[in-house]
């Protein structure tokens, strides 16, 4: 299973981004409204500058309290982004996410972001794939 297939199967296309200068509180509102775990920070929607996730916000809330909601996302985002490409295999992307202990990966084609996959998207795709393989094997054994 390729990342391009996972992107195609996602119920919503595109990547939700916020521009630099957005407050952490506004980003938290979007995460809550859209029921997602991370946002890409980008000026133009296609060139990612960083990522801010619920984990970053909770960490700072725990350390400094709600005053951190007034910070700009620029101060809290991770800028050393690890990305994948549409032609990468899902299993490889899952390994990278597990090694780095994060759950989001922007998908970049050339120098443009074309999507974002979460660990949930990738695990679901792998389980669907394994389910289809098991069904095919069962049918082979049963002679269907
Ligand atoms: P997550 O598990 O995705 O909520 O992220 C855990 C930590 O890793 C947070 O500090 C994120 O900002 C950071 N992070 C998430 N995804 C990526 C990524 N693709 N590249 C680099 N850092 C990331």
The whole-number pLDDT of residue 17 equals 97
C-beta 50 within 6 A of ligand 1: no
C-beta 105 within 6 A of ligand 1: yes
C-beta 96 within 6 A of ligand 1: no
Average pLDDT over residues 99-119: 95
- pLDDT for 48-101, tens place per residue? 999 999 999 999 999 999 999 999 999 999 999 999 999 999 999 999 999 999
Query: Domains in the chain: how many in total?
Result: 1
Residue 36 belongs to domain with CATH number: 3.10.580.10
Residue closest by Cα to atom 21 of ligand 1: 81
Residue closest by Cα to atom 9 of ligand 1: 56
The whole-number pLDDT of residue 74 equals 97
The whole-number pLDDT of residue 60 equals 98
Range of 112's domain? 3-142
- DSSP string for residues in 17-85: EE-TT-BHHHHHHHHHHHT-SEEEEESSSSSEEEEEEHHHHHHHHHHHGGGGGGSBHHHHSB-S---B-
């Amino acid at each position: 299973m390729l990342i391009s297939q996972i992107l195609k199967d996602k119920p919503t296309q595109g990547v939700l981004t916020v521009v630099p200068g957005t407050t952490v509180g506004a980003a938290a509102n979007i995460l809550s409204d859209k029921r997602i775990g991370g946002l890409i920070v980008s000026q133009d929607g296609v060139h990612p500058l960083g990522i801010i996730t619920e984990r970053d916000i909770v960490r700072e809330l725990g350390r400094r309290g709600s005053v951190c909601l007034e910070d700009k996302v620029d101060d809290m985002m991770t800028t050393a982004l690890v990305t994948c490409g549409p032609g990468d295999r899902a299993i490889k992307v899952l390994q990278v996410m597990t090694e780095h202990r994060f759950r989001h990966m922007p998908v970049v084609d050339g120098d443009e972001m074309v999507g974002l996959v979460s660990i949930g998207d990738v695990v679901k795709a792998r389980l669907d794939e394994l389910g289809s393989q098991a069904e095919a094997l069962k049918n082979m054994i049963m002679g269907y």
